[in-house]
Amino acid sequence: MMTAAPRPTGVHRVMPYIRIMRVDHWFKNVFVLPGIVVAISSQESVEWSSLLRNFIIGMAAVCLIASSNYVINEVLDAPFDLHHPLKKNRPVPSGLVNIKIAYVEWIALMVIGLGLGALVSVPLTLSLAGLWIAGCAYNIPPVRTKDVPYLDVLTESINNPLRMLVGWYMVPQSPVPPVSLLISYWMIGCFFMGLKRFAEYRDMADQREEQIRYRKSFAVYNEQRLLVSIMFYAASAMLFFGAFVQRYRIELILSFPFVALIMAIYFKLAFQSSSPVEHPEKLYKERGLMAAVISCSALMVVLLFVNIPVLVDMFPMTAWNR
Do 149 and 250 lie in one domain? The reply is: no
pLDDT one-digit tens code per residue, 150-207: 999 999 999 999 999 999 999 998 888 999 999 999 999 999 999 999 999 998 888 8
Our count of domains for the chain comes to: 2
Do 152 and 182 lie in one domain? The reply is: no
pLDDT one-digit tens code per residue, 240-273: 999 999 999 999 999 999 999 999 999 999 999 8
Q: Rounded to an integer, what distance in angstroms lies between the CA atom of residue 152 and that of residue 310?
A: 43
Domain that holds residue 108: 15-176
pLDDT one-digit tens code per residue, 292-302: 999 999 999 99
Residue 321: inside a domain, yes or no?
Answer: no
Q: What is the CATH number of the domain that holds 156?
A: 1.10.357.140
Residue 299: inside a domain, yes or no?
Answer: yes
Do 37 and 142 lie in one domain? The reply is: yes
Residue 291: inside a domain, yes or no?
Answer: yes
Average of pLDDT values for 14-40?
A: 92
Residue 277: inside a domain, yes or no?
Answer: yes
pTM of the complete model: 0.88
Residue 1: inside a domain, yes or no?
Answer: no
Find the helix packing angle between 256-269 and 179-203, rounded to 10°.
20
Least confident among 3-7, 79-83, 219-223, 290-294: 3-7
Q: How far apart are the first and last CA of the chain?
A: 93
